[in-house]
Structures are given as structure tokens and as C-alpha cells.
Structure 1
Amino acid sequence: MRIPTRTLVTACVLSVALLAAGCAGAGVKQTRVGDLVFLQAVGERGPGPFTDSAATGPAASESPRIGAKMSAGELAAPLRAARTVSGAAPGLYRGTPRVARCDVERHIRYLAADPARADAFAGVVGVRRAALPAYLRDLTPVVLGADTRVTNHAYQDRRADDYQAVLQAGTAVLVDDRGLPRVRCVCGNPLAPPAPTRGGASARGTPWPGYRPNKVIVVSPAPRAVTSLTLVDSGHRTWTERRTGHDVRRDRVVAPPARATTSPSRTPRTNPARTAPPTPAAPPPTPTAPPAARAPGAPGTPRAHGTSSAAGVSGVPGGSEAPGLPAADGA
């Protein structure tokens, strides 16, 4: 029997409507239809947090201060190809020596108190519920040094629903031995690498000062498992070697790496080549008149900053700002 064309059209329309309603019915599920990416500030827990906060200390943004206001066009700019940075890159993450911004044991207790949440969490990270404590203790507490794209997960209806997000620089996370963010500490949500988007993704949410779509990064896994990460403390202008794992008591302050991903300086660095043009050569002095003393701070006067064996590091003596991540000059 031949089915009338009108019946086929009506059935197709109903199918599309039901599919759209099922995928975009509530909250974070809209990301699967519209390729939306949710902006999540440092202290914002977001929809469906898995647990209470395990973050410790005050929430502090690491986003750079940008004086100029963003235009409407910049706010609506799609997130296309983000810069990719290796999870083992020195200076990718922030950290203060022997200070953990995430309480791993507290997070373990939260999950142990709710088996359904623990099961949903374990399903995302790919381990059994009984193995969660060991899995979490193997992660390393750090702070994001740049606005970072991730796949976040909300706990809804006893399951984990994934959605795309940009986490603000300064967010406390736990990373694995490839440097990938795996847990967001303020809400206990499991994290995964971001999903590819079709033709770019539009951001939804309130942008923070310093947010720029073209400054967002994606962390790629290190080529091999690492035993330590090199963190930068932008407040104290120090570099720290942190062994992988939750125990930060083994932290040790180290010299700036020869090639750093970002700068520990909290103030913008100027380019002397632009602000101080070379001084023309002065004519030779005459026998009757001694040469005039150069005023302090005049162009071409050497600055007494000392030297450093490290290259490509801004904010330390002898360094120059390396390209890549924005300097962390916000608080």
C-alpha cells in the first residue's frame, strides 16, 4: 500500500520536533543541538554540581586585566580553533609551593556518601566506584593559567550529562599525569577534553573581565606520562616543581625553565623596541667642554636588573615574555 506524501511529511516533522524537544529540553542538554559553550567563572558552580565544593582558599581570577571594553561583536564571536597547549608545558598551570587549592580527601568523602553520584562519576572517568579514592589521589591539584575549553559534566537524574564549557583562568582543578584537567574542584564535576564543534561554537554566559574568545586554549595530553609539573606562582614570582599526585608537601622551588609557556609577572610588560627608540650617537666631546651626563632613565640607559641563565621568561631578571598564554596579571 502506498503511503500518502502528506503523511510522510507530517511524520518527519513530528520526528524532528520530538528529537529537538528531547535534546534541548532543559539546561545543559542544549549544547548538543546548538554547539553552545558555557562560560564558567572561577567561583561559579554551574548546573548540576556533583558535590559540594572541595576548593580551598579564596577564589582568585588569573584572567589578565584588559582596560578596553569588549564590543558586542567580540562577545558574540564564535569559539573556533582554540590554541592547543601540551599538558606538560612549564607555566601552563599556576600553583603556590606546598599549597593545594583542592582538598582531594574531602572530595573522596563527598562521593563516598552518595553511591549514585559516585557511580555516575566513575562512569565518566572510566574506573570502578571502589577505585575512585586511588584514582583521585593520583591526580594533581593546580590552578588554570588561562581560560580553558573542557567537556564538563552535570549530575542530573542520577547520571552525568556532558556539556561544553570554558573555565576561567584561576579555576582550581585536578589534572592527570598527562596534564589533562579531570576534576573541577568548586563543584566536584568530572572533566574531559572538549568535543569538536561543527563550524565553531557560540559562547553563552557572562564574560569576565579579560575574556577574549581568541585567548581560550585547549590542553592536549602530554606525549607520555610525567612525574612532575612545573607551575608558576604569579604572585610571588616563583616556579615550583610539583610531583604528580595529591601530596603537595613534596613541592620544591626551582629556577625558571629555559622555555616557559607563560610569565610569572603580574604587570604588563612593555616592548622596549617600541617605547624607547635607539639614541643617536653623540658627537665626540670638545677639549673645552666635557660631555653632558645622561639623565637617569633616558633612552638607551642600561637598567640594573642583573642577569639570568633562563631565556624566554618574562617577569624574572633577564627574561623576555614568551609567546603563547596571556600573562596572569589579574587578581
Structure 2
Amino acid sequence: MKPPLMPDPYPRGPPPGPLPRSPAGPSPEVPPPEGGSTDPHRRGRRPVLLIVGLALFAIATGLFFLGRQADQAQQQEAVRLQPAAAIAPDPFTPSVAGPVPALRAVPPPPAPSPESGKVRVAGHYGSEPGLFGGTVKASTCDARRLANLLLRDPHKSQAWAGTLGLTTADLRPYLTGLTPAVVIVDTRVTGHHYREGRARPHQAVLQAGTAVLLDRYGVPRVRCATGDPLRPPAAVTKKVVYTGRSWRGFQAGGTVRVLPAHQPLDALVLTDVVTGERFIRPVGGTGATDRNVAGTPVSSGPLGTVAAVPVAAVGHTVTGLPLSVLAGKAWRAAEAPWTCCGNGRPEREESS
């Protein structure tokens, strides 16, 4: 006889017999928790999507404003304001400027040349009086020292010379042939600074009183405080934005640009920044060969400037100026034996 079968302690498969039926109708669902889905992953994605959306909005806004700034920058032209003795960033050399007396009242420049009517900045030929000044018998810039400083550095001298279409071999004779002077009107130029072995151009305004070197066409070629080469200003068709430190009396509409004279000059007419009188300086001269407008030599003394010219050639007012002119003689202002005044000139001379 077979022993009775014991029940399997680990049943496999469905239990014997018919399966129980589910109740009719949809199966009951667990109500979702208040606030949304029961899926924890979906709940965590919402703040992430919000953050991403805000970030994209911020990026789009930033790109919009950057684009506007770029458009505005393309529509603007930066012009540096350079005070007379200021050392600008990245100069070519240390200053080679001499002492420049404080500017007194000087005659205004002549009316703009007809050719300059199409530009905003008034244009004047370098041969016209009233643009440049100086001190009689004194130089305001050391061209020889500038040549020595530049030629010590082959890369710098090559970069400097290249701005004016020169070679380094031309540099010394070119510089020593320039004429020291002072701009007496705020003047627009193209300046250059030295950075990373290259001469980099920039538009600039030189303040009245800036020491410069002029070429034989009356065009500024060197800013003596920094040794920077200068060229005529570029035509500006965009809105001008002035950068740098301004000075008292600066007016954008009061600047000038210098046009080359029609032919090379033998001499330049300068205004004495102390007396306001005009004198002549030969091109390349450093003061020793200065002469007055009548053509005779000029000398200077402790009491001012004196000149020896005939009375008939005198066309300047004497009153209030340290200048005395008598027939064939030069006197110190305090010693001049004349009686005043008919229209500010001596009426008669007395023998000494």
C-alpha cells in the first residue's frame, strides 16, 4: 500500500479549482495626493523646468541688450581728450617737451577754409597764423632727444617710422627737421600709442598749450609729452563720444584740424604765448633764428620782448604789452622813451 501524499509546503502555480471573479465595474484607484501626480519624478521635474526657463529668458535678454550695445558702439567714434601735459597710456617715449608758459589771451584762429565746410571740425591750413605759438628764442620740444630715445629700440623706432611712411634710417633727419611749437587752439589729430610692439592709432583732441613738432607744411607730427607720432585726423561720420579727462573751456565745436599748406614752407608764423605778439620761426629752427613779422631779428629781455624796426612798420598796439618799438632802436618796456598815447601807439619819440 502507498503512503498517503502530504500537501506541498511550497505550492507552485494557481490553486486548484476555479479562480475568483473580480467585482463588476472599474477597479478602485487610489486617489492622487493633493497637488498633482503621484509620480515623484514628474513632481521633481517641474522646478527644474522653471529654472531652465528663467535661465533661457535671462540669456535671451542679455543677448538682446548686448546686441543693442554692439549696434550703438558701431555707430559711435571714440575721441580721446588729451590735456596739454598729460602722459597718456602706452606712450612711445618719456616726455621730451620743454617748459610751456601758461597761455595768455591769443587772437582767435581765422575763419574756416572753404574746403572744410563739409566736416564738423573747422579746417585751417598750416600756413595760416593763429594756430600755433611758442616762446621767442626758446624751444618747447627736444627733437634730438626724441630721436635718440626711439633709436634705442629697433622695434619701437620701426613702428614709429611706419606710421608716417618712413624708414628707421629716415628717422633722425626727419625729426631734427621739424619745428617746435605749441598748439594754441584745441586741435583734432590722429594719435598713436605703442602696445605689444605695434603703433595703434586713435582719434584725439590736443588741448591748447600742447607742445608739438610741426613739419614744413605746418602739420603737427609729434606730441612731445609722449613722443607719439601724429597724423591728420580721420573723417568721422559717426556720433563722436569723447573719452578721457576734459579741461575748462573745452567745446567740441571749438576744435580745429590742420590741413597741409599748399606748398612747403620756409618759415612758420607763431604767436608768442606770453605777449600775444606774432613772430617768425624758420622751419627746423629751435628759437635761435626767430625774427619778428617785419623781418628783423627778435631779442628777449627780463622785461619782455623788444624789437628794432622803423616806426612806419609798426602795426601793433603797445599799450599794456611788454613791447616797445622806436625808430631804429630797441628798448626795454620800462625804459622806452616815448609818450603815450594816440590809439595805443607812441605819438612822438624823444632822444635818449
Query: In which range does the TM-score fall when normalised by the shorter chain?
Result: 0.5 to 0.7
Question: Partner of 2:146 in structure 1?
Answer: 107
Indicate the residue corresponding to 2:345 in structure 1.
Answer: 306
Match of 2:274 in 1: 235
Q: CA deviation at 1:251?
A: 1.0
How many angstroms apart in 1 are the aligned matches of 2:271 and 2:175? 23
Alignment of 1:264-275 (within 5 A): none
Secondary structure, counterpart of 1:120 in structure 2: helix
The reply to whether residue 211 of structure 1 matches residue 253 of structure 2 is no
Whose strand proportion is higher, 1 or 2? 2
- Matches of residues 309-328 of structure 1 in structure 2 within 5 Å? none
**1:244 and 2:283 aligned:** yes
SS of 1:35 mapped into structure 2 = strand
1:232 match: secondary structure: strand
Select 2:195's aligned residue among 148, 156, 165: 156
Instruction: Note if 1:37 corresponds to 2:76.
Output: no
Offset, 1:151: 0.3
Deviations 1:221-280 (A, max 9, x none): 111111100111131232211110144311112249xxxxxx99999xxxxxxxxxxxxx
Match of 1:222 among 242, 261, 266: 261
* Residue segments in structure 1 that go unaligned for 5+ positions in a row: 1-12, 21-29, 65-79, 257-262, 268-301, 309-331
Deviation string 1:155-180 (CA, Å, 9 cap, x unpaired) is 00000000000000000000111111
Structure-2 change in CA distance of 1:303 and 1:249 (3 Å): closer
Contact 1:140 1:244 in 2 (8 A): yes
Indicate the residue corresponding to 2:209 in structure 1. Answer: 170
Maintained 8 Å contact 1:95/1:240 = no
- Return closer, same or farther for 1:131/1:170 CA change in 2, 3 Å cut-off: same
After TM superposition, list the pairs within 5 Å mapping 1:95-134 onto structure 2: 95-134=134-173
How many angstroms apart in 1 are the aligned matches of 2:250 and 2:156? Answer: 32
State, as a whole percentage, how many aligned pairs show the same letter. 37
Does structure 1 retain, via aligned residues, the 8 Å contact 2:101–2:274? no
Tell me which amino acid in the other structure corresponds to 1:140.
Answer: T
Matched to 1:115, the amino acid is P
Alignment match, 2:50: none
Whole-Å separation in 2 of the counterparts to 1:266 and 1:204: 39
Partner of 2:97: 55
Quote the residue 1:142 is aligned against: 181
SS of equivalent residue, structure 2 residue 147: helix
CA distance in structure 1 between the aligned counterparts of 2:318 and 2:100, rounded to whole angstroms: 20
| Residues 1:194 and 2:194 aligned together | no
Relative contact order higher in (CA < 8 Å, ≥ 6 apart): 1
CA contact (8 A) 1:240 1:252 kept: yes
Q: Are the aligned partners of 1:143 and 1:173 in contact in 2 as well (CA < 8 Å)?
A: yes
Match of 2:13 in 1: none
Alpha-carbon distance, 1:91 to partner? 2.5
- Name the TM-score, length of structure 2 as normaliser: 0.59
Q: 1:33/1:183 Cα in 2 relative to 1: closer, same or farther (>3 Å)?
A: farther
Residues 2-21 of structure 1 aligned to structure 2 (within 5 Å): none
Would the alpha carbon gap of residues 264 and 39 (structure 1) be closer, same or farther in structure 2, given more than 3 Å must change?
farther
* Structure 2 equivalent of residue 182 of structure 1: 221
Could you tell me the TM-score, scaled by structure 1's length? Answer: 0.63
Aligned to 1:328: none
2:148 is paired with a residue of what secondary structure? helix
Aligned residues: 230
